Amino acid sequence: MTFEARDLVVRYPGSRAPALDGVELSVPDGLLYAVLGPNGSGKSTLMRALLGVVPPERGSAAVDGRPVADWDRRELARHVGAVPQAEAMPFPVAVRDLVAMGRFPHLGPVRPEGPTDRAAIDDALRRCDVAHLRARSVQTLSGGELQRVRIARALAQQPRALVLDEPTASLDIRHEMAILSLLREAADEGTTVLLITHHLDLAARFADRILLMDCGRAVAEGPPAQVYEAGILEEVYRWPVEVRMDDATGAPRVIPRSAAPAERPAEPRP
């Protein structure tokens, strides 16, 4: 499944500067594609625009070659599993029931779960290491446990693409590596994975391609070794860094220097 953005501009009401300013994006089928950038750079807005949650002021967003606005929402949910950065859990629900909600696009409001649905739910619980929590209320979970349950819900959809905004937030190192390995495995099996993250080193280790954003604009795009140039990263993150190749992983590593960054006027934010 592919994602495309062409000259995409999104502006929120009351903002002088656009949240996205002419962004171009092309995510091929079956790749793990990471979107990076500092806070406020437009990463989450890009995710929402690609999923049709926020309308563009100019330009277009397409999923599998079709304008996202032309997709029926339930049809899109059958193909794309989304994990937003945060969501409210206003009422008690068991872990297993929340993960089972991932089957709703396939079941609808009437048809009961069948063997295929139960197998998908059980497999998602197992792969995200939350099967032992299946009877717990989500309101009793830690932040990391809840994050894994939300990812399990997306996997239970058995989608052709996964779009995840900071999916490893709140996770300990074991579960962070497990989830990223799971996403890498999913991409290797043909699922398109669009990942928004702040983890520069882990993105370089797991992603096929990277889009680096700043102030709503695309700054650099390509394989990690191509995007991770010290000059580019220092300009985007406003902090001096060194980039080294990690002999163990073969991926670039970003090492912040201890020197204070040079003064630079802040650019307007949305």
- Under 8 Å between Cβ of 113 and 103: yes
Tens digit of pLDDT for each residue in 50-99?
A: 999 999 999 999 999 999 999 999 999 999 999 998 888 778 899 999 99
CA 28-171-168 angle, 5° bins = 15
Helix axes 143-156, 173-188, angle to 10 degrees: 10
Burial (CB < 10 A; 0-12, 13-18, 19+), residue 16, is exposed
Q: Looking at residue 263, what is its pLDDT?
A: 54
Give the bridge partners for 165, in sequence order.
196
Q: How far is CA 109 from CA 73, 83, 106, 241, in A?
A: 15, 22, 10, 52
CB burial of 156-186 (b: ≥16 within 10 Å; e: otherwise) equals: bbbbbbbbbbbbbeebeeebbebbbebbbeb
> CA 99, CA 84: separation in Å to the nearest integer?
15
CA 181-228-160 angle, 5° bins = 35
> CA 62, CA 262: separation in Å to the nearest integer?
40
Domain boundaries, the chain: 3-91+160-256
Q: Looking at residue 170, what is its pLDDT?
A: 83
> CA 31, CA 216: separation in Å to the nearest integer?
23
Residues 6+ away with beta carbon under 8 Å from 145: 130, 133
Tens digit of pLDDT for each residue in 203-255?
A: 999 999 999 999 999 999 999 999 999 999 999 999 999 999 999 999 999 99
pLDDT of 107 > 90? The answer is no
Q: Looking at residue 267, what is its pLDDT?
A: 56
pLDDT of 261 > 70? The answer is no
Q: Looking at residue 212, what is its pLDDT?
A: 98
| DSSP collapsed to 3 states, 44-62 | HHHHHHHCCCCCCCEEEEE
pLDDT of 270 > 60? The answer is no
Q: Tokens 């390509």 — which residue?
A: 222
Report percent pLDDT > 70 for the chain.
94
Burial (CB < 10 A; 0-12, 13-18, 19+), residue 95, is buried
Indicate the pTM of the whole model. Answer: 0.90
Report the topology of domain 3-91+160-256: Rossmann fold (3.40.50)
